[in-house]
Structure 1
Amino acid sequence: MKTLLAIVALTVAGCAHVPDPAQPAQPAKVPEILPGFLQGYLSKEALPNSLALIPPPPAPGSGAFAFDEEIMRKSLALHGTPRWTQATLDADLRFPHAADTFSCVLGVSVTQARTPYLYQLLRRTMTDAGLATYSAKDHYQRTRPFVANQAPICTPQEQAFLAKDGSYPSGHTAIGWAWAMVLIEIAPARTDAIAARGRAFGENRNICNVHWRSDVLEGRFVAAATVARLQSEPAFRSDLAAAKKELAAAQASGAKPTRDCRAEAAALAQPL
């Protein structure tokens, strides 16, 4: 099984939602493909082929690689800052922690109890977006920046796994950008804030010293292809509609995020 999934498997050590009479109160149960990872909406054959979608990674000595190196140097300067702390939080894809990644921009916490459809939607699209990166990852096997610069990363417990896992494109970025695109469909009035949070989520992989800039940029592209493909899946569209109703009800209830949104905003204001 792919390393992106194995990493999270290794680290795994509100008010009630008012149901819609036309919709079951809970989504149908979906099997796990690894501890903590639900089966996605897309079959293996339906996943976008990232190897066909994106160009080869920048070659050493090229202008594009020089830009990668410039962003790496800027990222290393943020080690130990609040932005580094936030990047460490964003690196954790375990649920329920990861469900609240966008809670500050949504204005409400996403929980299995309050918003079960949205909670499961995030878990399943995480699998789809993450796995969609692997045809390119496995082919190129790009070395990660921390291997080159020998500087610390946000999650040292994952270092041995990451060193063997291809850097290009970024799976975490694909997941974060896919989440942002899905959430924009659910909460279109918050488009700008959601998109900005999704962008920062990917950039935090640079700050963690585990991805090059081009890894992050192409991770977004793979995410866009994945979410576009998801639109053709009836199960995804049904869950998306239910999640939209859940979120509206949660926001109307006056519930607030449990994260420190002021601290998050200040951290993400530190530019890369």
Structure 2
Amino acid sequence: MFRILMTACAAVALASCVAAPMSNSGPAPGSDPRQAPTGAVRAPGGQTQGYLAPTALSGKDIMPPPPAPGGLYDQADRANYDATRALEGSPRWKLAQQDNDLWNGGALKRFSCAMDREVSAKGTPTAWKLLHKIELDGRTVGTPPKNFFDRKRPPLGNDKPICVPREKWLETNASYPSGHSMVAWAWALVLSEAVPEKADALLKLGIESGDSRVICGVHFPSDVEAGRSLGAGMVARMHAEPAFQKDLAAMKRELAKAPAPEGCGA
């Protein structure tokens, strides 16, 4: 349904403007952990940094600018925001809320179910650490282009429903590229490498998790696509880091013995 809405909305936008010239525990559920771009941020387990140094990748030099305000792509982005507000309260809306939860286990549960391996701090500590370090790398790589392009998020200036509380970070944390989409796509790529027989399900979930940012109403589609692109580059760059290679090898061994998760449904 979401893909249909995206296509239909883009067509409407383009057709309508042919003449016109993106503590130690994590934050509480429902909030966005990217709201504090400065200072040491602690992931679950007390980690404060990922695998990449701030100079490892320059997101603001890699990424093109977001769609120009008022242009055709920008209008299509905004039409998508308007159309997907109709999903409020739907099962897909609830999945988007779970995908939002990078720090408290909701999103990781979805990935555990997709690869049929339980990821937990106790049972698979290396995998748990690696995935949270990727989230921190998403900040390191993604925050500079956010600050540089400073695209405002879609719910600003209106009171339409979004799937998380309307808090101050929506105003202070820019929209392009989507950090959640960066992390979800990076998780999907790395876990597909670790458990290749589950790559189809993991990559599908990586795409769905990015789409969830649009359904949530906190990002435009072009923010999500930019996040996926930058996330893929981040994973490629991580493979040059010995610490990442060591943890990836250990994670493969852990996941080979990990039990199936419970509570995944049909």
TM-score in terms of structure 1 length: 0.80
- Cα deviation, 1:94-126, whole Å, max 9, x if unaligned, reads 144443230111112201111111111101111
Residue 256 (structure 1) aligns with: 260
Residue 44 (structure 1) aligns with: 54
Query: Would the alpha carbon gap of residues 131 and 249 (structure 1) be closer, same or farther in structure 2, given more than 3 Å must change?
Result: same
Is the 2:186–2:235 contact (alpha carbons within 8 Å) kept by the matching residues of 1?
yes
Is the 2:177–2:224 contact (alpha carbons within 8 Å) kept by the matching residues of 1?
yes
Is the 1:130–1:175 contact (alpha carbons within 8 Å) kept by the matching residues of 2?
no
Is the 2:96–2:213 contact (alpha carbons within 8 Å) kept by the matching residues of 1?
yes
Counterpart CA distance in 2 for 1:122 and 1:101 is 13
Give 5+ residue unaligned stretches, structure 2. 1-22, 30-38
Counterpart CA distance in 1 for 2:150 and 2:26 is 21
Q: Which amino acid aligns with 1:11?
A: A
2:72 is the counterpart of 1:63: yes
Q: Which amino acid aligns with 1:111?
A: S
Residue 248 (structure 2) aligns with: 240
Pick from 36, 41, 61: which aligns with 1:34? 41
Q: Which amino acid aligns with 1:147?
A: L
1:169 counterpart SS class: coil
Residue 3 (structure 1) aligns with: none
What is the total number of aligned residue pairs between the two structures?
232
Counterpart CA distance in 2 for 1:151 and 1:131 is 31
Taking the TM superposition and a 5 Å limit, the aligned residue runs for 1:1-272 are 9-11=26-28, 33-36=40-43, 38=47, 39-46=49-56, 48-156=57-165, 159-250=167-258, 255-262=259-266
Counterpart CA distance in 2 for 1:98 and 1:85 is 12
Counterpart CA distance in 1 for 2:98 and 2:225 is 21
**How far is the alpha carbon of 1:59 from its aligned partner?**
1.2
Q: Which amino acid aligns with 1:103?
A: S
Is the 2:178–2:223 contact (alpha carbons within 8 Å) kept by the matching residues of 1?
yes
Is the 1:105–1:194 contact (alpha carbons within 8 Å) kept by the matching residues of 2?
yes
Counterpart CA distance in 2 for 1:189 and 1:121 is 20
Q: Which amino acid aligns with 2:248?
A: L
The percentage of aligned residue pairs carrying the same residue is: 39
Is the 1:99–1:119 contact (alpha carbons within 8 Å) kept by the matching residues of 2?
no
Counterpart CA distance in 2 for 1:84 and 1:96 is 18
Is the 1:103–1:259 contact (alpha carbons within 8 Å) kept by the matching residues of 2?
no
Q: Which amino acid aligns with 1:41?
A: Y
Counterpart CA distance in 1 for 2:140 and 2:265 is 30
Query: Would the alpha carbon gap of residues 52 and 155 (structure 1) be closer, same or farther in structure 2, given more than 3 Å must change?
Result: same
**How far is the alpha carbon of 1:9 from its aligned partner?**
4.2
Regions of 4+ moved over 4 Å: none
RMSD: 2.1
Counterpart CA distance in 2 for 1:162 and 1:68 is 17
Q: Which amino acid aligns with 1:99?
A: L
Is the 1:50–1:132 contact (alpha carbons within 8 Å) kept by the matching residues of 2?
yes
